[in-house]
Amino acid sequence: MRKKIVAGNWKMNLTLAQGEQLVNDIVAAGIQLSEGQEVVIAPPFPYLTKVKQLTKNYPGIFVAAQNCASEKSGAYTGEVAADMLQSIGVDYVILGHSERREYFQESNAQLAKKIDQALAAGIKPIFCCGEPLEVRKAETQNAFVAQQLQESLFHLDAAALKNIVIAYEPIWAIGTGLTASAQQAQDMHAFIRAQIAEKYGREAALGLTILYGGSAKPSNAPELFACPDVDGGLIGGASLVAADFTAIVKSF
């Protein structure tokens, strides 16, 4: 049975004090996780150690970084290596987020290197993929996402793939006023799973966790999570409000 995950991506938000309060409010909500369900919290780099400390006594709650370097070590000022993240107990790392792709021009090839660094350090990547508005309008989203998968993940063997989580982000539905329907989410998740099945086999595809990352919130999470190929969410804005985030988790 594949894992069900709700991951909260804080992005570049909150002071340390605000972040501590948010985590305390989340754990105080008394979330009851069933077997195979996880909560992942992805704060900014400076808060990783503190969030790890605050959640260490709560089984099922894990910590993610929002990025890692494509190189192992060296003269890369401002970068953070996967080994550094592993040394402080980071469990997951978000890679290929649409904002990293857009603002920092991260390529599929660069992301393949980041994937390798994370896996070598024993950290599980949450690999983001998804299409912008012009691609969706042209109805070429399947080919676009397939290329992202092929160029960033398909160099891995089946054993390595078991440590990957995929997050589908319809970029056109984030901050645009447009909304992806549950059916649109399901269609793309099913397509991604079919791509994995074609490359790695049906068993690997059925075991892969695929999250939805397009403005999920308490009001639409139950419908999204009810889709057969949607295994949870990568949550942005709603992860900064404890009541909203815990309501999404409880949508399981």
Binding positions for substrate are 9-11, 175, 215, 236-237
**Rounded to whole angstroms, what are the CA distances from 129 to 85, 167, 244?**
23, 6, 24
Query: E strands along the chain, which residues?
Result: 4-9, 37-42, 61-65, 92-95, 124-129, 165-168, 209-212, 232-235
The distance from CA 203 to its chain's CA centroid, rounded to whole angstroms, is 22
Active site residue 134: no
Annotated binding residues: 9-11, 175, 215, 236-237
Q: Has 169 been annotated as catalytic?
A: yes
What is the CA angle 71-77-79, rounded to 5?
50
If one counts every other C-beta atom within 10 angstroms of the C-beta of residue 193, the result is 20
As given in the structure block, the two tokens for residue 113 are: 């290197």
Under a CB-based contact definition with an 8 Å cutoff, are residues 210 and 4 in contact? no
Per residue, what are the HEC states of 52-89?
Answer: HHHHCCCCCEEEEECCCCCCCCCCCCCCCCHHHHHHCC
Tell me 33's DSSP state.
P
User: Which of 38, 97, 99, 131 is an active site residue?
Assistant: 97
Q: How many helices and strands, by DSSP H and E, does the chain display?
A: 12, 8
The set of residues, in sequence order, having a beta carbon less than 8 Å from that of 215 and lying 6+ positions away, is 173, 174, 175, 179, 180, 236, 237
Which sequence positions are flagged as catalytic?
A: 97, 169
